[in-house]
Amino acid sequence: MDHKKQSDDKEHGKHTGHSVQMFKRRFYISLSLTIPVLILSPMIQEFLNFSFGFSGDKYVLFLISTLIFVYGGWPFLNGARNEIKTKAIGMMTLISLAISVAYFYSSAVLFGLSGTIFFWELVTLVDIMLLGHWIEMRSVMGASKALEKLSALIPDNAHLLLKDNNTEDVATSELKDGDIILVKPGEKIPTDGVIIKGESFLNESMLTGESKPVSKNKGDKVIGGSINKDGSLQVEVKGVGENSYLSKVIKLVKQAQASKSKTQALADKAAFWLTIVAIFSGVATFITWILIGKDVSFAIERMATVLVIACPHALGLAIPLVVAISTTLSAKNGLLIRNRTAFESARKISTVIFDKTGTLTKGTFGVKRIYSLSDKYLEDEVLRYFAGLDKNSEHPIAQAIVNESKNRNIELPNVDNFKAIKGKGVEGVIEGDKMSIASPGYIKELGLKIPNNITDIEGTVVFLIITNNNKNTLVGAINLTDTIRKESFEAIKTLKKEGIKTWMLTGDNKNVAKSVSDDLNLDGYFAEVLPEEKQKKIKELQAKGEFVAMIGDGINDAPALAQANIGIAIGSGTDVAAETADIILVNSNPKDISSLILFGKATYKKMVQNLIWATGYNVFAIPLAAGVLAGYGILLSPAIGAVLMSLSTVVVSINAKFLKVNK
């Protein structure tokens, strides 16, 4: 990737081949040439009550105006030619008609035709149009700057680790899969890979939207562009060039920005008809004033004002600018849009179906409840003995119990004579007592009775036994389940507030599913569902008239994601190419789902607001430009019309820039 490429060379919409710098340069040159035109214009002299002239001044006025018309007006004249050639007349055609009428009529008057010269109107109109387009392109390019910032995240060089453990600085572009690189504290990760040595915290906020630094250890994936905080890492390169996460993100964003949704198609259609209305209104205005008895110069001025003020400029910007901003904001917040129509349809979602494991839950064990089965021991004491026996074990259940003791700040006891009982549990001596952690099967084998209040609970249960004088006493139990994410509660609450039903799909048994569903206050659940049955469940809800969004991992849930009205794939790291999903969430965070839906609604709302403004103001502006209030002394000049048209563009731009993702 060329990270130094400048945005001025980019193209956008109607301005194909026109750069921000080009409009800026033509504006300043035309503006400087406008000053002598204003000084030499009779109408300006009369208005400001001064007199200035010299022999041949009108020809100087003509030459300078011609230069501004040709040089400053060229982007519009050329754009009109392309529009006519492709049979897609629009704003460039209207602007060109307006400045051409003003130029050729004024030139004819200067060389003998009876009428009024308004070269000053022509040049100020060209200036304002150049300024408006410059501002527009800056706005659009500004919305795409984040992509350049993403590209700039990749450092130019990397520390390649050699066989003798020395390092050699090489260009990042020269790295290949399998290379080992050294990443020092404070440096950016040059490319995607897997940590083979070291541990650290990485800042991935610019890539995934995750605000907190993420802990990374041996075997964890890292994303190129993330910032290494405090530890040295050795990373094996996996994914370079177009295969890197960042490249895939940028490609997805560009595709989404380039794709046209139904809203954009509506805007294009509206722009076409507004152009037709403007041309018809301009011609009708000219004929009407001539028939009324006004002179040609007045009629032409009215017609030019109508053509200018009705330019579908704001309309042409209304949707593309929102698209550019929303798509880029989404990418920065870990929401990758592959299908814009689906994204904008988020407002229609009536039901969200979640896959359970790894989405609503962490996919790891957590302590749900601790039972004291003896009056001699409190819950914290039971947990203390459990964690003491488990502190050296790497088993997920043991780690969950130890983590719970840490959360409660419990000091763990010393354990003597520790040993594992294969397939049954562990045992050891704590403070003189022999203690064992046992599975339900081992409890039955020992002839102990499991209390009734524990036999029917969902999840995994382990028991604590104290043995004295060959007598086994059941003193405690711990119930562990797949831990519900804290973010899930907030996500479900937000969705319900929006009137959206929430369901869960899981292959787990009904007890587990019911427990999670009840805890989260879901509207319902489907339990013991096989992967191939998920699609059927979505069809059932759709048959009831629900507009369904399905959240899955993008692989096992592919049929369900394809069946849903909106398929949302979840996954972190380099898993960004779930082909069946419309939208990809980089982090497996349920809060991102509610953020996505709310952002989709906000984006569509901005588009509608911009469409209403960009078309609605013409209802008042066109009659005003035509001169319906001329009898009251209210007349708009073409230049003032251009200002109003430009203001509508500014309003649309500002409105789009208020768009934001609520995380």
Using one digit for the tens of pLDDT, what is the confidence trace for 164-204? 888 899 988 888 889 999 999 889 888 889 999 998 888 87
Rounded mean pLDDT, 215-239? 87
Q: Which of 176, 205, 238 is the last residue of a domain?
A: 238
Tokens describing residue 615: 């078309």
Q: Does 579 reside within a domain?
A: no
Tokens describing residue 14: 């109607």
Predicted local distance difference test score (pLDDT) of residue 7: 35
Predicted local distance difference test score (pLDDT) of residue 25: 92
Rounded alpha-carbon distances, angstroms, from residue 75 to 12, 125, 526? 14, 14, 60
Q: Tens digit of pLDDT for each residue in 619-650?
A: 787 888 888 888 888 877 766 766 776 677 77
Q: Does 300 reside within a domain?
A: yes
What is this structure's pTM?
0.58
C-alpha angle 136/137/141, rounded to 5°?
Answer: 125
Q: What is the CATH number of the domain that holds 372?
A: 3.40.1110.10
Rounded alpha-carbon distances, angstroms, from residue 175 to 9, 156, 228, 241, 349? 28, 11, 19, 9, 44
Q: How large a percentage of the chain has pLDDT more than 70?
A: 82
In whole angstroms, give the CA distance from residue 611 to residue 591. Answer: 30
Beta bridge partner(s), residue 162: none
Predicted local distance difference test score (pLDDT) of residue 5: 37
Q: Are 276 and 380 contained in the same domain?
A: no
Residues 6+ apart with CB under 8 A from 550: 353, 534, 538, 557, 560, 561, 563, 564, 566, 567, 568
Instruction: Please state which of the ranges 147-156, 172-181, 210-219 shows the lowest mean pLDDT.
Output: 147-156
What residues make up the domain containing 223? 157-187+193-238
Predicted local distance difference test score (pLDDT) of residue 336: 77
Q: Mean pLDDT for the chain?
A: 80
Give the HSE-up count for residue 351: Cα atoms under 13 Å, Cβ half-sphere.
Answer: 22
Predicted local distance difference test score (pLDDT) of residue 443: 87
Give the HSE-up count for residue 133: Cα atoms under 13 Å, Cβ half-sphere.
Answer: 32
Confidence of residue 73 (pLDDT cuts 50, 70, 90): very high
Q: Are 234 and 374 contained in the same domain?
A: no
Catalytic: which of 127, 179, 192, 355? 355
Decide if pLDDT at 116 tops 60.
yes
Active site residue 355: yes
- Give the per-residue SS3 of 632-662: HCCCCCHHHHHHHHHHHHHHHHHHHHCCCCC
Predicted local distance difference test score (pLDDT) of residue 6: 35
Predicted local distance difference test score (pLDDT) of residue 2: 41
Q: Are 269 and 125 contained in the same domain?
A: yes
Q: What is the CATH number of the domain that holds 231?
A: 2.70.150.10
Q: Are 272 and 233 contained in the same domain?
A: no
Q: Which of 173, 205, 238 is the last residue of a domain?
A: 238
Predicted local distance difference test score (pLDDT) of residue 150: 57
Rounded mean pLDDT, 547-557? 76
In whole angstroms, give the CA distance from residue 78 to residue 174. Answer: 43
Rounded mean pLDDT, 425-448? 88
Instruction: Please state which of the ranges 143-147, 165-169, 654-658 shows the lowest mean pLDDT.
Output: 143-147
Give the HSE-up count for residue 446: Cα atoms under 13 Å, Cβ half-sphere.
Answer: 23
In whole angstroms, give the CA distance from residue 421 to residue 225. Answer: 47
Q: Does 48 reside within a domain?
A: yes
Q: Are 205 and 82 contained in the same domain?
A: no
Predicted local distance difference test score (pLDDT) of residue 397: 81
CB 184 within 8 A of CB 161: no
Q: Does 548 reside within a domain?
A: no
In whole angstroms, give the CA distance from residue 237 to residue 221. Answer: 10
Instruction: Please state which of the ranges 281-295, 481-495, 560-574 shows the lowest mean pLDDT.
Output: 560-574
Predicted local distance difference test score (pLDDT) of residue 387: 94
For the chain, how many structural domains are there in total? 3
Predicted local distance difference test score (pLDDT) of residue 11: 37
Predicted local distance difference test score (pLDDT) of residue 79: 87
- Number of other residues whose CB lies within 10 A of the CB of residue 424: 16
Beta bridge partner(s), residue 193: 222, 237
Instruction: Please state which of the ranges 112-116, 284-288, 409-413, 594-598 shows the lowest mean pLDDT.
Output: 112-116
Q: Are 173 and 99 contained in the same domain?
A: no
Give the HSE-up count for residue 644: Cα atoms under 13 Å, Cβ half-sphere.
Answer: 21
Inter-axis angle of helices 296-309 and 638-657, to 10 degrees? 10
Decide if pLDDT at 571 tops 50.
yes
Q: Tens digit of pLDDT for each residue in 344-366?
A: 888 899 999 998 877 788 767 78
Q: Which of 462, 483, 504 is the last residue of a domain?
A: 483
Decide if pLDDT at 582 tops 70.
yes
Decide if pLDDT at 393 tops 50.
yes
CB 637 within 8 A of CB 300: no
Q: Each residue of 303-338: b (16+ CB within 10 Å) or e?
A: bbbbbbbbbbbbbbbbbbbbbbbbbbbbbbbbbbbb
Q: Does 545 reside within a domain?
A: no
Q: Are 398 and 416 contained in the same domain?
A: yes
Decide if pLDDT at 326 tops 90.
no
Q: Tens digit of pLDDT for each residue in 29-40?
A: 999 999 999 898
Query: Of the candidates 587, 592, 661, 571, which has an alpha carbon nearest to the alpha carbon of residue 204?
Result: 587
CB 152 within 8 A of CB 3: yes
In whole angstroms, give the CA distance from residue 151 to residue 574. Answer: 16
Q: Are 367 and 442 contained in the same domain?
A: yes
Predicted local distance difference test score (pLDDT) of residue 289: 92
Name the residue with higher pLDDT: 65 or 264: 65
Q: Are 119 and 206 contained in the same domain?
A: no
DSSP letter for 581, please: -
Rounded mean pLDDT, 549-557? 71
Predicted local distance difference test score (pLDDT) of residue 652: 81
Predicted local distance difference test score (pLDDT) of residue 389: 93
In whole angstroms, give the CA distance from residue 595 to residue 601. Answer: 10
Confidence of residue 252 (pLDDT cuts 50, 70, 90): low
Q: Are 319 and 371 contained in the same domain?
A: no
CB 520 within 8 A of CB 513: no
Q: Does 31 reside within a domain?
A: yes
Decide if pLDDT at 153 tops 60.
yes
Q: Does 519 reside within a domain?
A: no
CB 528 within 8 A of CB 507: yes
Beta strands in 96-184, from DSSP E residues, in sequence order? 157-161, 167-171, 180-183
The number of angstroms, rounded, from the C-alpha of 296 to the middle of its chain's C-alpha atoms is 53
Q: Does 471 reside within a domain?
A: yes
Q: Are 29 and 175 contained in the same domain?
A: no
DSSP letter for 582, please: S
- Number of other residues whose CB lies within 10 A of the CB of residue 540: 12
The string of DSSP codes covering 26-67 is: HHHHHHHHHHHHHHH-HHHHHHHT-----TTHHHHHHHHHHH
Predicted local distance difference test score (pLDDT) of residue 531: 65
Query: Of the candidates 112, 113, 82, which has an alpha carbon nearest to the alpha carbon of residue 95?
Result: 82
Q: Are 278 and 401 contained in the same domain?
A: no
